[in-house]
Amino acid sequence: MRAYGFTEIGGPDKQAFLDVPVPQPGRDQLRLRVRAAGVNPGDWRVREGSYGHHGPTVLGWEVAGTVEAVGAGVSEFVVGDEVFGGCPDMVGGWAEQALTIASFTARRPDAVRPEAAAALPVAAATAYDAMNRFGLPEGSTVLVNGAGGGVGVPAVQLAKARGLRVVGVASPAKHELVARFGGIPVAYGAGVEERVRAAAPEGIDAVLDMVGGDALRTIAALLGNRSRLTSLADKPLALELGGFELVRDRSTAVLTELARLVQTNMLDPYVTDIRPLSDAQAAMALVEQGHATGKVVLIP
């Protein structure tokens, strides 16, 4: 089976097309014929060894496809179902056939394209979890740092759907996008504190950060109560600043709800770049640069 991944821990030069056996679904797993697979910054972190994979390993955390085989213990899905979900151990998705975790897989409604469904389990689902954890009442203000990226775009929309005000920090090229989904765009860099205060004179009630480092320190200083601060890019710093580590709800229920939101036009995962698997190297490079707009998806 043709797949794309990495041969050993390291930089982009370790990425390669791999010829690997068709995976067999274990207990509570499904095997899909992959229709589309999402690309995430987490994929290069896997390649760098952050999650214990040594290679050769097939990359890819999230896929949409047709169920081809079901493992022991699976009763919710049958062969032929159109589904989408997260891959075991956060790998294996960039391939013609891939496994998903049955308890983190959901049916894909016909109205939700495979490319859109494949973009939901990592980025949109994380944004969903963050908004749930914040639990802010309507009219509160959330700041999304990195509002034009894979997580940021759904985060802005999911916050708006909850009746929140959203300040979306992004580069100027993404301001029209942030505003289109209802956010108040603010440019990052020198003077960002004043611009945020001007955009939200009532103050900020929560921060969802996708950037980390000094950008996070600057933004965190705007939040009086740090109990509603989390960073997906810099968890240690978020904790140091008094924030929390987001615990993911990797469940079928979350994915089903996200698909419903897409189907009812409440959520657009904003897939901006759809490429054949043969172009995986360029897709990864685009995401690894850290300035992607919306989501990048591969088609085997």
Given the rule CB under 6 A, which residues bind ligand NAP?
40-42, 122-123, 126, 145-146, 148-152, 169-171, 174, 188, 210-211, 215, 232-233, 248, 287, 290-292
Say if residues 151 and 170 touch (Cβ distance below 8 Å): no
Say if residues 140 and 164 touch (Cβ distance below 8 Å): yes
Q: 242 in the Ramachandran plot: left (φ > 0), alpha (ψ -120 to 50) or beta?
A: left
Token output for 90 = 């956060």
HSE at residue 130, side-chain half, CA atoms within 13 A, is 31
Q: Establish whether the linkage from the previous residue to 154 is cis, with ω within 30° of 0.
A: no
Nearer to ligand NAP by Cβ, of 2 and 275: the residue is: 275
Q: What angle do CA 47, 50, 56 make, to 5 degrees?
A: 35
Q: Minimum Å distance from CB 34 to ligand NAP? A: 20
Q: Minimum Å distance from CB 253 to ligand NAP? A: 17
Nearer to ligand NAP by Cβ, of 1 and 239: the residue is: 239
Longest dimension (CA), the chain: 57
Nearer to ligand NAP by Cβ, of 2 and 51: the residue is: 51
Q: Which distant-in-sequence residues (6+ apart) come within 8 Å of 51 by Cβ?
A: 45, 89, 90
C-alpha span between 295 and 118 (Å, rounded): 10
Q: Minimum Å distance from CB 170 to ligand NAP? A: 4
At which residue do the structure tokens 């360029």 appear?
A: 282
Q: Minimum Å distance from CB 31 to ligand NAP? A: 23
Nearer to ligand NAP by Cβ, of 30 and 216: the residue is: 216
Q: Minimum Å distance from CB 155 to ligand NAP? A: 8
Nearer to ligand NAP by Cβ, of 67 and 204: the residue is: 204
Nearer to ligand NAP by Cβ, of 89 and 96: the residue is: 89
Q: Minimum Å distance from CB 40 to ligand NAP? A: 5
Among the residues of 90-183, which ranges form H helices?
114-117, 125-134, 152-161, 175-180
Nearer to ligand NAP by Cβ, of 42 and 93: the residue is: 42
Residue with smallest beta-carbon separation from ligand NAP: 149
Q: Minimum Å distance from CB 151 to ligand NAP? A: 4
- The dihedral of CA 132, 134, 140, 143: what is its sign? negative
